[in-house]
Amino acid sequence: MPEQGFKAGLEDVVANTSEICFIDGHEGRLVYRGYNVADLAETTSFEEVVYLLWNGDLPNQAQLAQLKDEIKKSAPLAKPVHEFLRSLPHDTHPMDALRTAVSLAGIYDPDGNAMTPEANHRKAVRLVAQVPTIVAAFDRLRHGKSPVDPDPSLSLAENFLYMLHGEKPKELHAKVFNTALILHADHELNASTFSARVTAGTLSDMYSAITSAIGTLKGPLHGGANEQVMYMLQKIGSVENAKPWVEAALARKEKIMGFGHRVYRTEDPRAIILRRLSKDVGEDAHDLKWYNMLNEVREVIMGSKKLYPNVDLYSGSVYFQMGIPTDIFTPVFAISRVSGWTAHVLEQYQNNRLIRPRAEYTGATHRDFVPLEKR
């Protein structure tokens, strides 16, 4: 029998080693490959961070140019993936559309099920390049609009907003979105990354691992919380109503989305940056209602429950004010996190061992068998 006792939710259980991401939950520090995310967030491009996560070092100019070129060339979708998105009912949740489209894209990937490091690198590039195209294309199709082809002159952040809205984003939005992508790129063994690694650990292919991860990110206790925060703000309606609304929800023992974390015992460092971005886009739009409401909710929750905001609290208000529909907030999270998922899958393949924990059995052990005719 296993030596270790059972830990509900695997809390604080160390399940693998990794060189990709470090979290100091007490100090509120998040590090990608040795770099504090706060130092990267507003000074680098998302593509640089993708390179860092995959390769362990920041790229030089030639390496960055090559990765950007690979991403640009890989951004268009295979025709059957387009046709599939076109065939979906318009009320399909965009996260379901993304999950199934990524799975389908795997079938048309020219590298198929090849598992060489080179083939896996190319698949990682295609995934990072195509997830934004899928999310934007489905959003337009369900609103009766034609998808917009990716523009090779734009960065990944700019391109997503361009493909979504059909026009180039204003400078502030492109910059803020780039920062949001960097902030969401990786987070150690969060649930979706764990799920990707479990799938990769069976030596299944990268698309299967990323499909598992997307399904895991969808839930409201994980990436799905950003969408739920926006619905909560819409229900609250005004800054004045925030306190009574939250107090009533807490009295009903409801969880308030965007608060609490398995690892952080202080404020999530990403939330601190996103709060400022929420203010920036709010000021730019001459509308600080969402920002002010979130701050009021934060004060009530921190005062009464001593719970801190997580990454999902402020991101939605940022996206909303950039014209991103609420039900694609979680797919937008995936646009970024696919970089971390693929980095972890590549790391898993490099030093693989099947991931297979044990369960503490709590059922009956010695029951007398009764044949069917006598039950």
Ligand X SMILES: O=C([O-])CC(=O)C(=O)O
Cβ neighbours of residue 224 under 8 Å, at least 6 residues apart?
95, 217, 218, 330
- Which residue among the candidates 139, 205, 268, 312 is catalytic per the annotation? 312
Residue 65 CB, nearest distance to ligand X (Å)?
29
Of 187, 197, 275, 344, the one binding ligand X (CB under 6 A) is 187
* Residue numbers at the binding site for ligand ACO (CB under 6 A): 9, 190, 221-223, 225, 255-262, 305, 307, 310-312
Adjacency order of strands within the sheet including 21-24: 21-24, 29-32, 35-36
Pairing of strands 21-24, 29-32: antiparallel
Residue 68 sits in the site that holds ligand X (CB under 6 A)? no
- Respond yes or no: is residue 261 known to be catalytic: yes
Torsional sign, CA 199, 356, 348, 136: positive
- Least Å distance between CB 257 and ligand ACO? 5
256 binds, options ligand X, ligand ACO, none, Cβ within 5 to 8 A by partner type: ligand ACO
Shortest distance in whole angstroms from residue 258 CB to ligand ACO: 5
Rounded to whole angstroms, the Cα distance separating 219 from 255 reads 14
Residue ranges of E strands in the chain = 21-24, 29-32, 35-36
Question: Quick check: is 93 catalytic?
Answer: no
Among the listed residues 261, 280, 327, 366, the single catalytic one is: 261
With CB under 6 A as the contact rule, the residue among 74, 133, 155, 190 that binds ligand X is 190
Report the residue number whose CB is nearest to ligand X.
190
- SS3 call for 126: helix
- Phi and psi at residue 307, to the nearest 5°: -105, 140
d(CA 228, CA 219): 10
- In the bound state with ligand X, the residue whose beta carbon lies nearer, of 41 and 311, is 311
Pull the structure tokens for residue 360: 């503490």
How far apart, in whole angstroms, are the C-alpha atoms of residue 171 and residue 168? 9
Which whole-number Å values give the CA distances from 136 to 6, 133, 307, in the listed order?
42, 5, 34
Contact string (CB under 6 A) for ligand X, positions 311-340, x = contact: x-----------------------------
Which residues ranging from 239 to 278 are in contact with ligand X (CB under 6 A)?
262-263
Shortest CB 350 distance to ligand X, Å = 22
Name the binder of 221 from ligand ACO, ligand X, none, CB < 5-8 A by kind: ligand ACO
Residues with catalytic function: 261, 312
Q: Which residues bind ligand X (CB under 6 A)?
A: 187, 190, 262-263, 310-311
